[in-house]
Amino acid sequence: MPNPVTKHTPGIIVFSLIMLFAAALPALGTTSQPARIAPQDFPVCGAITPNVAFWIKIFTKYGRAQGVIHDSRHLDRIYGVIDLNPNRTAAAARENRQQQKAAFKQYKTVLLALAGGRAPATNLEKHVAGLLGPDAAPADFRQAAFRLRCQTGIKEQFRAGLIRSGAVIDEFKRIFLSHGLPVDLVYLPCVESSFDFNAYSKFGAAGIWQFTRGTGKQFMEIGYVVDQRRDPYISTDAAARLLKRNHAELKDWALAITAYNHGLAGMKRAKNAMGTYENIFLRYQSRSFKFASRNFYPEFLAARQVARNYQQYFGELHFTKPVNYTRFTTKGFLSAKVFTRALNLDIQEFHTLNPSLRSPVFKDQKYIPGNFEIRLPAHIPLNDARQTAISLYQKKQKPSRFHVVAKGDTAGAIARTHNVSLNDLILENGLNRQAVIFIGQNLRIPVKTQPADMPATILAGQADTKKPSAPDTRQTGTRTIVKKVTKPARVSSPVSLLAVAATQEPQAGAAATPEIPKEKSGDVAALPAPGPDKINPRVDSSNLKIQKIVTNGNHARIGIIQVEAAETLGHYADWLKIPTSRIRALNRLAFGNPIAINQTIKIPLTALDPDRFEEQRFEFHREIEEDFFASFVVAEVETYEIKPGDTIWSLCLRQLEIPFWLLKKYNPRTDFNALHPGHTLNYPLVAARQEDLIL
């Protein structure tokens, strides 16, 4: 992925499949005119052959209930296989970590004993010594003791991914052929996401191609309303362009594919240092070129081998079939709720076909933007849809308004200040029945659709809360099955590759559908921020307001802000529509020097900038958190003691496996710029949401 992290561990990849339109499909990889793949396209040097064989086993032999203990540099050196708990829960993850630690301790003890000159006596010692061979020196055993790694099998996941891919694989091949690229690159999602159409990593990589926000924005629109990483076909075109650029720069597919994970700049440095891919694989070392990057190309080769020869490994599979749809481009802003109701179309089905639209569109917090290509079920006449849209267009997007809770505030008073109902404020922010709020919390202020802009017939339809959902019509052979759709669950359809993101759960202790018996229920004064053991991670207390605005000697307006987690100068420049260099110059920051959390930064402002800047900043942080909590839940909180050599980067990425913004939530009074060994941090154990896999 365009991200230096690739792991196949329990809970990383979310399965939420209620497969639509499942039926048999000819063998995976077949097209009407299959492309010839030249052997030189994807070279296999001798050094990586054992790794390719290892990953084929992980994809086809070992499942989620098995952990393979192996050497991280010599993947053919498998010490043993341990039993794991296959559940995607924090408790299962904790249990599995203990299992892994016990296995590591056992094999490390044996390896260090052999390194000390001990002759192998037990069966286990003989087994380990045999793996290293008769010529192994004490140093070899000692080094091997610190290269132990556990890889969870993904046989079930890989097989399910192949089935899902049937809905899109032929179109993906057409896209890659249109760019003049080898069509077998379409198997890269087998490594990235197993064609899981809801795939979202803890560190923000989204979609089946697992684009990070930074890389994705080079090729796609990524924002609070639209995230094209979630769209199967747009993101596939983006992946093709990225891989084509990588190959044009690096002149070698092994390097170009590795750059998809490690980054183009990183692979250029590696190539300049080592020359060939084989030399890079064998000897290159850097702070970020670790196990995932080194193994990315061998994983791809293994995935390609399995996908092209799936019958050899899995027998016959019934692939999901594609679905036809119609499409048109909007001429203005549209309410998804009103538009789908006017067409008698279930909004869940609409989201399934338009996965790049984010959840605020389906919560009616934002409109479908203008110039957006809408996809609709093929049975809806295109002209009807266009005419319906014309009567519903709005002139501008709904703004994102928010209020920072101050001491003495109450939810009721905030609602009255902004002229909204208390009930709407509670629903918009997932507050509990007592409308408890906290000092410093950012509350979203509801923005309603203007009734005057809508036809009376649509308004009447909105009021009919008991109106039944549209039927779900599926074609199966010569029969048409009509199924009445009930309240939709979260769906992952390979037709569109993403269904509606899970509805955001209310805060802990909240009623599922809050009912406020009287206005007084919102008059509880804002509470101080709770302690770490009672933190609700959904409460956003980021400092998103411009702290003050001053005028410099040239009468220019300057805003003063405090840096929050996940922000960069690039974000500020993008929100202000100015070059990053202008902000650097204003703050006398040298190029390449990163900004620090809580650092004070000056930003140039025009008269219209403050509100627009704060709105985009608010949406940026909401987007990150909404996407995260749509895929993951916090099970419990543990503590970690800082050790020598720890950095925030290594801590979040490797030890704790959580994003920094989430770690910061659980340590609100910690100065992360002054951590030292012995310092204790609270951190949440995160698990994937529990979903049923239906094939």
As a residue count, the chain comes to: 695
Average pLDDT (352-375) is 96
Domain ranges for the chain: 548-625, 634-694
- pLDDT category at 24 given cuts 50, 70, 90 is very low
Give Cβ neighbours of residue 73 (< 8 Å, ≥ 6 apart).
147
pLDDT of 169 > 50? The answer is yes
The pLDDT, as a whole number, for residue 509 is 28
pLDDT for 30 equals 37
Lowest model confidence (mean pLDDT) among 198-202, 358-362, 512-516 = 512-516
- Report whether pLDDT(515) > 50: no
Q: What is the per-residue pLDDT across 314-363, written as a single tens digit (0 to 9) for each?
A: 999 999 999 899 999 999 999 999 999 999 999 999 999 999 999 999 99
Average pLDDT over residues 438-462: 65
Lowest mean pLDDT among 454-458, 535-539, 616-620: 454-458
* Count of CB atoms situated within 10 Å of the CB of 137: 10
Question: What would the CATH number be for the domain defined by 548-625?
Answer: 3.10.350.10
Q: What is the mean pLDDT of residues 543-563?
A: 92
pLDDT confidence bin for 690, thresholds 50/70/90: low
Classify residue 29 as left (phi > 0), alpha (psi -120 to 50) or beta. Answer: left
> Per-residue confidence at 650, pLDDT binned at 50, 70, 90?
confident
Q: Across all residues in the chain, what is the average pLDDT?
A: 84
Angle at 410 between CA 409 and CA 412, to 5 degrees: 135
| pLDDT value of position 40 | 56
Q: Can you tell me the distance from the alpha carbon of 692 to that of 695, in angstroms, rounded to the nearest whole number?
A: 10
Partner residues linked to 364 by β-bridges: none
- Name the token pair of 159: 């097989």
> Average pLDDT for residues 662-686, to the nearest whole number?
92
- Among 321, 328, 358, which Cα is nearest to 221's? 358
CA 623 to chain centre: 11
Strand, coil or helix: what is 520?
Answer: helix
CA dist 197 and 201 (Å) reads: 12
Tokens 């290159």, residue located: 284
Considering the chain, what percentage of its residues have pLDDT values greater than 90? 72
466-506 pLDDT, tens per residue?
333 333 333 333 222 223 333 333 333 333 322 222 222 22
pLDDT at residue 239 tops 90: yes
Instruction: Assess contact for 195 and 212: CB atoms under 8 A.
Output: no
Of 3.40.50.10210, 3.10.350.10, 3.40.1790.10, 3.30.1360.120, the CATH number of 634-694 is 3.10.350.10
Average pLDDT over residues 375-393: 95
The lowest-confidence range among 147-156, 233-242, 668-677 is: 668-677
CA–CA gap between residue 445 and residue 516 (Å, rounded): 17
Cβ neighbours for 405, distance < 8 A, ≥ 6 positions apart: 414, 437, 438, 439, 440, 441, 442, 443, 526
Q: Give just the sign of the alpha carbon dihedral 168, 171, 173, 178.
A: negative
Q: Which residue has the higher pLDDT, 313 or 447?
A: 313
Average confidence (pLDDT) over 144-156: 97
pLDDT (0 to 100) of residue 495: 34
In this prediction, residue 166 has a pLDDT band, given cuts at 50, 70 and 90, of very high
State mean pLDDT over 58-63: 98
pLDDT higher for 12 or 97?
97
The C-alpha torsion from 197 through 198 and 204 to 205, rounded to 10°, is: -10
Structural tokens at position 341: 């109701």
Cα separations in angstroms, 530 against 12, 634, 670, 692: 29, 16, 15, 34
- The answer on pLDDT for 14 being more than 80 is no
Is the model more confident about 652 or about 94? 652
Residue 304: band (very low, low, confident or very high) from pLDDT cuts 50, 70, 90: very high
CB 296 within 8 A of CB 191: yes
Q: Identify the pLDDT of residue 521.
A: 61
b/e map 458-472, b = 16+ CB within 10 Å: beebbeeeeeebbeb
Model pLDDT, residue 470: 36
Domains 548-625 and 634-694 alike in fold: yes
Residues 87, 352: Cα–Cα separation, whole Å: 27
